[in-house]
Amino acid sequence: MPRTRYDELVTLAEEHDGLFTSEQARDAGFTDSVLVRLAQRGRIERTARGVYRIPYVPLNRFSQYREAVLWARAHRGPNAVALSHETALLIYGISDANPESVHLTVPGATRLRRESPGAVHVHQADLAPDEVTVVEGLPVTTVARTVIDLLHAGSRIDIVKQAITGARKEGLVSSAEAQRLRGRVQQHLNTLRAS
């Protein structure tokens, strides 16, 4: 059976839980007017500005996070983005964190000219390459960077401690790294008590 242009779009989207950006579609030879027509016909859905989805490709537990990353990168947005804070803990599965928003960190100089989808909380920080890892194909801040971000954001200390213990159990950090992170938590608590 011959492949159609739509099949090419589906193949592109299947790599990302059925999601793709308008820029990715343009790179594959699709014009914006074709995307608009496909959306009008219900063949694709616009989930956020510059982000589309093939409706019949099943979502998985990471789809909303992939959508947030694609949204930030759409329209020549920053490539250096990472899921962070409580969202990183949830992706790692190392705590009971259940964030209401998808936490996403973009470079400090980034000016996103489009409104973020309602469930995305954007943080700005310049992440070093060794502060980002890939989990299930998603860019995520490392456990160490996540702990630091959570402390600076004033997150619950019990969740941070639980995350360190969970990361050690899962082998995501060494014993020495877990000890160093516990020291950072204690230093943070001492600073809070002193102020």
pLDDT score recorded for residue 1: 42
Q: Per-residue pLDDT tens for 114-172?
A: 666 668 888 999 999 999 999 988 999 999 999 999 999 998 999 999 999 999 999 99
Residue type, 53: R
Alpha carbon distance 123, 167 (integer Å) = 23
With CA atoms as reference, report the closest residue to 66 among 78, 49, 81, 56. 81
pTM, two decimals, is 0.83
pLDDT in tens, 3-30: 677 888 888 888 788 898 888 888 888 8
What is the maximum alpha-carbon separation in the chain? 72
Alpha-carbon span 6 to 4, nearest angstrom: 5
DSSP code string of 32-53: HHHHHHHHHTTSSEEEETTEEE
Q: What is the pLDDT of residues 33-79, one digit of tens each?
A: 888 899 999 899 988 888 889 988 888 888 889 888 888 888 666 77
